[in-house]
Each structure stands twice: as structure tokens, then as C-alpha cells.
Structure 1
Amino acid sequence: GGLMREQVCTYMCPWPRIQAAMMDEESLTVTYRADRGEPRKPFEKNADWDQRGDCIDCKACVVVCPMGIDIRDGQQLECITCALCIDACDDVMGKIGRPRGLIDYDSIANDERRRAGEETKLRLFRPRTLFYFGLWGLIGLGMLYVLLTRADLDINVIHDRNPLYTTLSDGSLRNGYTFKILNKAREQRTLMLHASGLPGIKLKVVGSEDMGDSPDPYFTVKPDRLQSFRLLVTVPPGTLKDDAADLRFVLKEINTGQTASYNGLFRGPGQ
């Protein structure tokens, strides 16, 4: 923090480069109106303002700048467009009885027009701004579509690392999983779990309604909550022909029939 300070904003933050790429001569940005402020001189009572500029060289704009730049030197990469210099300058202009806006949002094109004695213009609608408006509009519609069509039920199944499997006394194989359910709905849901891929599968959910080994255990998940359960999957002896087999877990809501699925593996010693 104290070591890098504004150097982070200047050399590490991508915003100055993005801002520079998106701007053109008609873009509104924090600007010092040199045609009105120059030549700058210290403030004097009863001074003839026709013979000098409005800038009294108080450096209030420099003092308040978090980047330590002088906006009067023109557009600079370090400027983060915080507009603190605008507020500081307007406050000074009010104290000395001069019009506000010596530092204000303006464009480079308008600055050149004033220097040439031409009328200033505000061109908000031009090819660049219309393109950006259309681009951000498409991005916004895409985000809205994802938000409106997102699934409000999701599951994740993580296989135990150690042990990969357990052989029971009757020769059955058992695998352990961490079973996570994300309920994005604003109501409690009653869900039923089913696994397929091997014959005779039995499931046991530890920490829910413990019904022992069952092909389709059920449990409840509170609204807007991520809940984890300990899941034990057991298959009869001789069912697994290789050291691993594909399993498909399907979670189904009892009331609406909505489902969420996850593909996993059941592991064993192999043949």
C-alpha cells in the first residue's frame, strides 16, 4: 500500500488502458479549460479579470488528486476520473466570485472548438457510442437470460480419496462420497436420490432421514442453502467386473419432478 501507492493504478490496473482505448475526441472526461484559465496568476482583490485567466494557481486541484497529477497539464494516463479536482476548483471559484466549471467534464473536441472561436457541441450519439451501447446491451441481455434460465437445484458428488472402497463381510463393495446439494429456491424441498450404472445398488445417506440401505433414499434441504451429506453406495458381490464403473446420480424433487444429475465412478479391487 504505502510502497506502491498510485503506481498500482498507473502501471498495474488495466482500467487506464481500457479507458484510453474506448475514448475519442468527443468523449466527456475531466478537463481543465485552459482557454478560460490562462494566463494564471495569484488572486488579487479588485483585479481586472479581462487581463488574466480565472486560475489563481492555488493548486487545490493538485492537492486533492489521489494520483498526484496536475489536471492543468492536459489529459494524462494516470487520471482515474474521480472528479475531486472539479469539486475543489468549484469551491475556490465560489470563494473568489468567479463562475464555476473551470475544471469540468468536457471533450477535447470542444476545447479545440473554443480555441477556434466556434460553438461547443455535445455529441452523445455517434458510431462509437452506439456500438458500445449495443455491445453492453447484448452483454446485459445475455446475463439476464442466464439469470432467468439458471437451474435452482444443483448437486456435486466427491468420491472419498482414502479408502477408495471397502469390502464388507458378505463380499459386497462399498464406496463413500461427499454429496452436496445446492437449493437455490426460497422454499424447503423434499428430494429423492437414485443411482444407476450397476445392478443392485443400495444407498445410505448419513445425516438425513436414516432409513438404512435403500435404492432411493430421500431427505430435505432448507431454502437457499448448500447442504452436505455423507453418502455410502453399496453393490452386491461380483457386480463390479473391473476396477471402476460409471455411476449416474439423479436427484429428483418429489413435488415438482425437477431433476439434477451428476456422473461419477464406483471403484473396487477389479478382477
Structure 2
Amino acid sequence: MDDHFRETLYTIDTKGRRKWVYAHLVAGKFIKSRAVVAYLLMALYLLMPWISINGKQGVLLNIYERRFIFFGLELWATDTIFLFLTLGFFAITLFFVTAMLGRLWCGWACPETVFLEFLFRPIERLIEGPPAKRIRLDQQPWNFEKIFKKGLKHLLCAAFAWVLASTALAYFIGREPLLAMMEGSPLDHLGPFVMTLILMGVMGFQFGWFREQFCTVLCPYARFQSVMMDQDSLVIGYDPGRGEPRGKAARGAKEPDNGDCIDCGLCVRVCPTGIDIRNGLQLECVACAACVDACNSIMDKMGWARGLIRYDTENRLQGRTTHFLRPRLFVYATLLVLYLSAFGYFLSVRQPDDLEVVRATKETPFTIAENVITNHFTMRLSNKSDRPMNFKLAPAADPRFEVVLPLTETVVMPGKIQELPLFVRFGRGVLDHGKGALDITVSRDGAPDRVLKAKLLGPNE
């Protein structure tokens, strides 16, 4: 097996210049299955901001207001435990899926693959034609045909990029604000408008020019796989025991000493990253199975069995036994169960409100005037439910402290936060070594009373 391929990238020539990949379109069961998955994922991405679940946007990631909604579950900035558990769950899921199924994510569900292979590249094929015509078009001087085709392609791609960018914006600012902004002038909403243009520019650069270079040069997942995969992970591989030595053959007949590979090169021409899968497992392989469909079509024409290139494990490709149940999979599965259990537990004990007393910002811890010490706090009442909440506030009756609170009863609307100023005044010598606390009882309909502590500070005397 030729091993020189490991010294350089397929898409870079000996002088360091990029070699453009003109991937051929191939028919087969895997490309059809990937298309179904890709268009379902696109539909999910485009529709989730517009779907209402329990009266809320399907998915909302409002970083500015620190509100996050996932399929009816609304999380706030104070729900950091759920963020930790979610990130941990997805990380362990990545390890588990990669250890078992290899880079199936890359070829089937990664946004780079989904949008490039099933949205932008089909537009390119529709307008510019198959690879031979695209090569000829790129090499010819600028004329009416080239200007028209390139212009139309970029116009259509820009239109779809606008839809994708606007949808991304809906995830972060909400669908109603987005629609309201679209009805007005871009100058009235310059920030979101500029962000949309930036996203369109990034997509134009990525899907129009950088393309497979992201997978082979920038994406860290390709590097992670080296430590997450083993000899029993699912990969796309070439069976050298069956295919070698290579040689040309007529349908149904071949030289006795030759393998099944007729060295047609179709597996290379259909690869979106330009690699030769016959050289073995490579960093650039995204497990898209285009080479599998291509090789199977040749095997069908030759009248031979399919599977010369196939989804398999390295152990099985080398004639060894595959061990599906492995210690690392048990470890990953156990961690996933623990993360899910912890998520369910914290969700079950999660309060629909969030109450806290914090010291007022941009002020000194306390002030002294005429031997009277004043502490300034902010009471923050957060309603994380979908119904109004009536709060009653009752500071402890302590003759040592004078409490100034503008409201002792208030209604907080769903998804809102109300802040109330709180002043506590007391004389010198009241606190023990300059520290103390005032209890504030908070009552809410249908919930047990809770006691908040305002931590008082004063001179240490």
C-alpha cells in the first residue's frame, strides 16, 4: 500500500497551492439515506424557532436576557447546573458515538456536510453542470456565460444564506423581535442587520470557497477521533485482502492473480475531500460513504459481490474478530446514565422562581451618617414559570434595624424579573465585629415560605 499520502494533504499540491475538488455525484442507498437525514435536519433547523411548545418558542438562546428555552423547558442564567450537565452529556455522547460508530456524525449530521453537500453543492451542479463542465467553466476566460452562471449561482446561494442567517438570528433574539425588525429599516436595528451580513459572509466563504479545507485543516473533531476510536470502531474501509492486487478486468472475468479492485478511480473522484480510501483510514475521511456507493455500483456492473469498500471495523477488515462490547463503551454508557439521572433529579427539585438578596452594585458596602449605618441591597424576584406569581415580603421584626422596602407585596409576570431596593439602617455597635444578618421571609401562593438573609456590614468596633 502506498504510504506517501500521509506526508501531505490531498487538496494541497507540492508547491503548497490548493487543488480544487470537483466531486462527482454518485447514486446509491447511502447517498439517498444521507439526503433524507440531511433534509430532515434542515427542516428541523428552519422550523424550530417558529414552533410553539407550551406557548413558548421551540428553541431560544437569548444570551442578552440570559433566557434559554429547549422544547418547552425554560432555563435561566441561575440554572448553571443544567448547562454543566447538558455540556457533559453531549461530550460523553460524542465519545460514545465515536467509539462505536466512528465519524458517522461528520458524514451524516455535521452542519458543514449537510449544508454543503445537500444545499450549496446541488445549486452549483444545477447551474454549472457536472465536474467536467465546472472545470471547463473555471478555466475559461470571463465571458457572458461565465459571468451569468457564476452570478446566478452566487445570487441563489446568497438567498439561501440569508434564510439560514435569519433563522440563526431567530434562535438568539426570538422570532417576534426578528419579524418586527424585518418590517422596519435596517438602520433602526443596525446590530442584528450587521450580524446577519456577517453570518452570510461566513457562509459564503465557507460553503463557496473554503469547503473541505475546514474538515481537513480546522475542524478539531478529526484530531479527537485518534484518541476516541479504536480497532473496533466503525469506519469506512477498503478490503485489501479481497481487492489486491489491482488490475483491469472485463465484466464477469479477471486475471486469476488479480483482486476485485479494477483500479477505476471512481472512489477517489466521488470523495468530497479528494482522498483515496484504498490507502486506509485517514484523517480527511468524513465517513460520508460516497466511495461505498461508487464501488458498489462498479461491483454491480462487474457482476461481483458488493462490499469491497464498506462500513466495517479495522479488525474485521484485517481478518480479526470485532469486539462490540468493550470496557470504554460501558464506561461511557454508565456516565451517560449518571448525567441523565442527575439532570432528571435537579429538574424535579427545580423551583419555578428564583429569589435572592444582593448588595447594590457601584456603591460602598455601607455608609455612615450621624452614627447611622446604612446597607443598600437589591431584592431580585424571578418568575421562571408560565403564570403570574404573587410575592409577599416580610422583613424580620428586629428593633435594632430600620428596614426601608418600597413594596411588601408584588406580582411578577411570567418570564420576568423584578428588582426592589432594600435599605437597612442601624446604629453603631449593633453588629458583632462588623457583621450581621437580617432575615426576610418570602411567601408565594402554593409554596412554602422561604427565608432570605441580607448580610449586613459595618465598621469592626
Decide: shared fold, TM above 0.5: yes
Identity across aligned pairs (percent)?
A: 22
Structure 1: where are the runs of 5+ without partners? 115-120, 211-216
Aligned to 2:217: 7
Matched letter for residue 231 of structure 1: P
| Residues 1:146 and 2:351 aligned together | no
Equivalent pair of 2:235/2:287 in contact (CA under 8 Å) = no
- What is the rounded CA distance, in whole Å, between the counterparts of 1:92 and 1:112 in structure 2? 19
Q: Map 1:1-271; keep pairs closer than 5 Å.
A: 5=214, 6-9=216-219, 13=220, 16-17=223-224, 19-40=225-246, 46=251, 48-49=253-254, 51-54=258-261, 56-60=264-268, 63-65=271-273, 69-76=275-282, 78=283, 82-84=286-288, 86-91=289-294, 93-94=296-297, 97-98=300-301, 100-113=306-319, 123-160=323-360, 161-166=362-367, 173-196=373-396, 199-205=400-406, 210=407, 217-223=408-414, 225-238=415-428, 240-241=430-431, 243-259=434-450, 261=452, 263-268=453-458
Change (3 A) 1:236 1:137: closer
Amino acid of the structure 1 residue aligned with 2:281: Q
1:58 partner letter: L
Deviations 1:45-67 (A, max 9, x none): 747356443352235377413xx
CA distance in 2: counterparts of 1:132 and 1:108, whole angstroms: 21
Do the aligned residues in 2 keep the contact of 1:197 with 1:248 (CA within 8 Å)? no
- Which of the pair is proportionally richer in helix? 2
Structure 1 Cα separation of the partners of residues 309 and 243 of structure 2? 9
Q: Does the 8 Å contact 1:240/1:270 carry over to 2?
A: no
Structure 2 residue matching 1:190: 3-state secondary structure: strand
Q: Report deviation, 1:106.
A: 0.9
Question: Corresponding residue for 2:71?
Answer: none
| 2:270–2:290 CA contact under 8 A, matched in 1 | no
Q: Which runs of 5+ in 2 are unaligned?
A: 1-205
Q: Specify whether residues 185 and 23 from structure 1 end up closer, same or farther in structure 2 by C-alpha distance, changes over 3 A only.
A: same
Runs of 4+ in 1 over 6 A off after TM superposition: none
Larger radius of gyration: 1
Per residue, is there more strand in 1 or in 2? 1
Q: Secondary structure at the match of 2:401?
A: coil
TM (normalized to structure 1)?
0.67
Tell me the TM-score normalised to structure 2 length. Answer: 0.43
| Shift, 1:69, TM fit | 4.8
Q: Secondary structure at the match of 2:217?
A: helix
The structural deviation recorded for 1:144 is 2.0
Structure 1 CA distance for aligned equivalents of residues 411 and 241 of structure 2: 72
CA RMSD after TM alignment: 3.9
The amino acid of 2:421's aligned partner reads L
Amino acid at match of 2:424: T
Aligned partners of 2:269, 2:392: CA distance in 1, in Å?
66
Give distance in 2, aligned partners of 1:197 and 1:267: 19
Deviation string, structure 1 residues 148-183 (Cα, Å, up to 9, x no partner): 222333223331232544567x97544333332333
